[in-house]
């Protein structure tokens, strides 16, 4: 087989463990042999639709067997997989499809109405072939340096950027994960976070597949269903964001549920409050968190399970095949305890952004180090603590929100002269948006008007939950809005 990338994984796994269950979805269980058959048939279907090496295939939908099968079939052809956030509005999706130049969109049936408004050739999941399709082997040469994914991240300039991850980035990230977590062929992994995000895909599903374990896929997060699946399948490993784990622990089933099968809980997406970590540790559960981002595929640091109690709240140490520095503004290393910008280097780091050489250059420091824009500090034992997030970004329910994007859409409202958005604390979502708005002279609008204007143009989690009014926004001498002053005045 000439495919050194992810497209060759189903065939290799089918040879090693054909009868083992690869995926469970609802009442369906699919073996590794069946995954190989289904992805081969799907690759022929994609090829018949015009997909060739280097083309982009987009996917729009919640977690489903078809997500994994479309990914592997796309990579079998040497094409590039573009998973789209199913929570986005049609204008946001249109931009990503246009920017990536996607040749084809695979979409869930329940999103047919959204897909119909998008400027691309479409195939519904229900129209994809199963094992009865063409079984002729597909053998397209694919190298580890070839692009595998384009993952869109919210941009600080108001437009999302397409982070490119190569097959090598994904393979090395899997190696890094396996060096930290003792994933076994008997693993039962609950995939409950969205697969269109890098963590659920690359930190759980792909490592489990590589080891020949079983991934139990939830269509979407549901606390009660999560308890049911853990009990039914004896789940051993799961990943989630803070809001998911907080909701899980608030359930009335928490005190009495049998959670003895769970070996490890992994968290990412935002710092986890120490109190929540203690809640799980008091239940006898090992709780580890890590640090990373889409551009690092995503793991950059990880807290070893053995240290999860003593270093609770830490993002851990650099993963095995990566280097992580904390630097001062002059790019010299900051000593332990001193905050600085986090820089990352390793074979898991993106080569750059799709069709955006300026953003690619701006993300690199001398020596090729990737600039995270995040602030952290090492302790004396080499464990990283995240002090602040990238610039003005906030995280709502595990989703990154960049205020510039929201501000850009707000400014399109005919009554808005200018607006600034920032995150404020929220008990349910961690943070939610607050908009400070200056109206044009003589114009009128209320909060409901602005929220209604944003809905349909932005995903729901990006729409601010509150609006306050101002006569002017604080600015620097160069004209930039002073966000700290806004937070102090309006939080």
> What's the rounded Cα separation, in Å, for the pair 368 and 66?
37
Angle at 108 between CA 106 and CA 109, to 5 degrees: 120
Q: What is the mean pLDDT of the chain?
A: 92
Res 157 pLDDT > 60: no
CA distance 58 to 66: 12
Q: How far is CA 319 from CA 143, 177, 348, 389, 460, in A?
A: 24, 8, 10, 20, 34
| Comparison of pLDDT for 407 and 13, the residue scoring more | 13
pLDDT at 155 over 70: no
Q: Which CATH class is domain 6-378?
A: alpha beta
| Residue labelled with tokens 């997500």 | 67
Looking at the chain, the whole-number percentage of residues with pLDDT higher than 70 is 96
**Residue 154, pLDDT score:** 67
The model's pLDDT over 82-137, given as tens digits with 9 standing for 90+, comes to 999 998 999 999 999 999 999 999 999 999 999 999 999 999 987 777 666 788 99
Angle between helices 447-454 and 403-410 (to 10 degrees): 110
In this prediction the pTM is 0.87
What are the φ/ψ torsions at residue 324 (nearest 5 degrees)? -135, 125
pLDDT digits (tens, 9 = 90+) for 279-301: 898 999 988 889 999 999 999 99
Q: What is the pLDDT of residue 404?
A: 77
Specify the fold of 394-490: GMP Synthetase; Chain A, domain 3 (3.30.300)
Q: What is the mean pLDDT of residues 341-363?
A: 97
pLDDT of residue 478: 46
Q: Among 171, 129, 125, 128, which residue's Cα sits nearest to residue 148?
A: 171
List the chain domain ranges: 6-378, 394-490
How confident is the model over 164-217, as pLDDT tens digits? 999 999 999 999 999 999 999 999 999 999 999 999 999 999 999 999 999 999
* CA angle centred on 59, ends 52 and 390, rounded to 5°: 110
Q: Are 439 and 445 spatial neighbours (Cβ–Cβ below 8 Å)?
A: yes
* 370-411 pLDDT, tens digit each: 999 988 899 999 999 987 665 677 889 888 787 878 888 898
């Amino acid at each position: 087989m000439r495919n050194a990338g992810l497209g060759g994984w189903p065939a290799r796994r089918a040879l090693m463990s054909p009868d083992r269950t690869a995926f469970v979805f609802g009442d369906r269980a699919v073996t590794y042999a069946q995954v190989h058959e289904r992805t081969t048939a799907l690759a022929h279907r994609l090829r018949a639709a015009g997909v060739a090496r280097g083309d982009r295939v987009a996917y729009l939908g919640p977690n489903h067997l078809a997500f994994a099968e479309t990914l592997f079939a796309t990579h079998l052809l040497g094409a590039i997989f573009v998973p789209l956030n199913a929570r986005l509005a049609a204008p946001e999706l249109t931009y990503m499809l246009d920017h990536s130049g996607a040749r084809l969109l695979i979409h869930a049936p329940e999103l047919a109405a959204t897909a119909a408004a998008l400027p691309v050739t479409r195939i519904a999941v229900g129209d994809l072939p199963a094992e009865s399709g063409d079984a002729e082997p597909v053998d397209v040469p694919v190298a580890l340096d070839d692009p595998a994914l384009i993952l869109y991240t919210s941009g600080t300039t108001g437009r999302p950027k397409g982070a490119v991850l190569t097959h090598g980035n994904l393979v090395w990230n899997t190696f890094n994960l396996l060096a930290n977590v003792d994933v076994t062929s008997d693993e039962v992994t609950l995939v409950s976070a969205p697969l269109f995000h890098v963590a659920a895909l690359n930190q759980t599903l792909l490592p489990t597949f590589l080891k020949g374990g079983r991934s139990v896929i939830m269509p979407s997060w549901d606390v009660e269903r999560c308890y049911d699946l853990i009990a039914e399948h004896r789940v051993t490993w799961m990943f989630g964001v803070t809001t998911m784990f907080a909701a899980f622990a608030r359930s009335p089933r928490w005190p009495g549920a049998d959670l003895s099968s769970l070996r490890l809980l992994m968290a990412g997406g935002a710092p986890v409050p120490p109190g929540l970590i203690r809640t799980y540790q008091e239940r006898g559960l090992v709780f580890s968190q890590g640090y990373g981002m889409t551009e690092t595929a995503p793991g950059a640091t990880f807290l070893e399970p053995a240290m999860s109690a003593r270093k609770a709240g830490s993002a851990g140490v650099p993963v095995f095949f990566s280097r992580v520095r904390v630097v001062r503004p002059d790019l010299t290393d900051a000593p332990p305890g001193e905050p600085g910008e986090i820089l990352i280097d390793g074979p898991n780091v993106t080569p750059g952004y799709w069709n955006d050489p300026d953003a690619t250059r701006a993300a690199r420091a001398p020596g090729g180090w990737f600039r995270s824009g995040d602030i952290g500090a090492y302790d004396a034992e080499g464990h990283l603590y995240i002090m602040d997030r990238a610039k003005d970004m906030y995280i709502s329910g595990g989703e990154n929100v960049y205020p510039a994007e929201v501000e850009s859409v707000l400014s399109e409202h005919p009554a808005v002269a200018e607006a600034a958005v920032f995150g404020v604390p929220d008990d349910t979502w961690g943070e939610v948006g607050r908009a400070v708005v200056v109206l044009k002279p003589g114009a009128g609008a209320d909060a409901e008007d602005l929220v209604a204007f944003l809905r349909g143009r932005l995903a729901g989690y990006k729409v601010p939950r509150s609006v306050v009014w101002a006569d002017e926004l604080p600015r620097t001498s160069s004209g930039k809005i002073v966000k700290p002053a806004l937070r102090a005045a309006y939080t």
